[in-house]
Each structure stands twice: as structure tokens, then as C-alpha cells.
Amino acid sequence: MQNCGDARHCAVLCHMYELEFTFEYQSVDARDVLYTLDKLCPKIGLSTKDYSTAYQVKMIEAGGHLDLSGKLFTDIHGGSIANCGHDFLIIKSEGVTLSELVHFVELVVAELPTTQAFIHNYDYYYWQNAEDPRLYEIAGKDHSFLPKKSNGLPPPLEQVVVDISSNPGRYDLRDGYRETVSSPMWVSLSLVQNVALLEEIATVSRFNGGNLIKIETSYQPFDSAEGPQGELQRQLRKAIYGRE
């Protein structure tokens, strides 16, 4: 692992990232994930203490849920989304380089029955999916110029929210998968709607015996919804999911 004691080194290489994995519904439980982390984290220089405590481990084994926090993997949580037919795992990481995270993701994908895996720039991804105006106000961000819509709930629960439906970095929960893009990302070949288009706009390689494909672009990871980055994200969405 790179030494992050140098603040200048960290500023360049050790951003905050969000890793997302989706799995087939009820194919992975909290214990599976915990044991996989125990097995794989030492391979990128992490130990159990970097993401958990003995107390948290005990709670997971007793309750079957997953909700951890630690030093380098600052937040880990996962579970099942019954109405969308898939399991998920989300890891926030600060202090681990992108190359180390790519290696880690590929180790996880080889161990667990993965449908998708993504590495996001945490800050970019967060604001691409922030609908509640209060989030902007708390952060001191102006949202007056952003498109708005109703949240669709009946009074008195109705409120005006930020309309993120055109954001290229948004995610939507679908039946069996999460509709979003990143660079790099790993997706089941069965999800891809237009392989020819995908190969025109990204570097595509078979992974994990051909069940998944790894997709990379010159932007790693995406950090803007504007210009060439925004257009490329829209093209990736169209090639993989059939819609922008």
C-alpha cells in the first residue's frame, strides 16, 4: 500500500471513493461479506482493524446485517432490496489509492456472485444523487438554479425536491441491478444492450471467465456531469441499459 503520510501524495492519489456491488437476490449474506473482507483485505495491505471492531463483528454474526465503520474503509453497509430483486454492498474508502481499490474489487468479484461493481468519486456521485434541498442548504450550496419537481407524495408529505432525472451520474434501482455507470466498472454481459456501441466508446475486456465485462475510459473516475465526461456517461448508459 502507498504511504499516505505525505499530505500532498494523499491529495493526488487518496481521494474518497464509493465502491458499489450488486449480487443476485439473497445470494450473499452479511457473514459471507465479512469473511470475504477478512480474507481479501490483507492482500491490499488492510487488516480487520482497518474496517471493523470485535464488537461490530459480534453484532453482525448475531443479527445478520452489515454496518461497519473503520479507518480506511470508512463505512461498509449492505443488505437485500426485495422489491428490486438484488443484494448490495456499498463501501466508502478514504486513504486507499484507486489502483488498490481496482485490485480489491477484482478480488471480491472473483469470490462473490457479482452482477455489477462500480468505483465512484464519492463527492461527485453524492451530489449527482442529492434530491433533498436541505442537503444543499446544510452544505452551503446554492440549489436555486437546479430543476425541481414534486416528490410525488400526497399532502402533507409532499415537498419540492431537486430533479436529478437528467443527471448522467445518477443511479436508479431496477429489478436485479443498479442502473448507473462509473469508470472503471464491471457488469454482467447479460445487461449490455449494445456491445458494438460500448466497444466504440470504452475499453472493454472479459473478466471472471467471461461472465462479466470490465469497462474503462480515460476518466477514472468520473467527476463531472458537464462536457465530454457528461456525454460519455450518457453514452455508456445508453449502450449498457438502453437509455440515457
DSSP per-residue letters across 49-69: GGT--HHHHHHHHHH--EEE-
Phi and psi dihedrals of 219, rounded to 5?
-100, 115
Total Cβ atoms within 10 A of residue 60: 19
Q: Which helix (H) or strand (E) holds 203?
A: strand 203-207
Give the C-alpha separation, 45 to 47, whole Å: 7
Q: What pLDDT score does 72 carry?
A: 65
pLDDT at 11 over 50: no
Q: What pLDDT score does 1 carry?
A: 31
pLDDT at 6 over 50: no
pLDDT at 62 over 80: no
Q: What is the pTM of this model?
A: 0.87
pLDDT at 212 over 70: yes
Where does the pLDDT of residue 63 fall: very low under 50, low under 70, confident under 90, or very high at 90 and above? low
Q: What pLDDT score does 53 carry?
A: 56
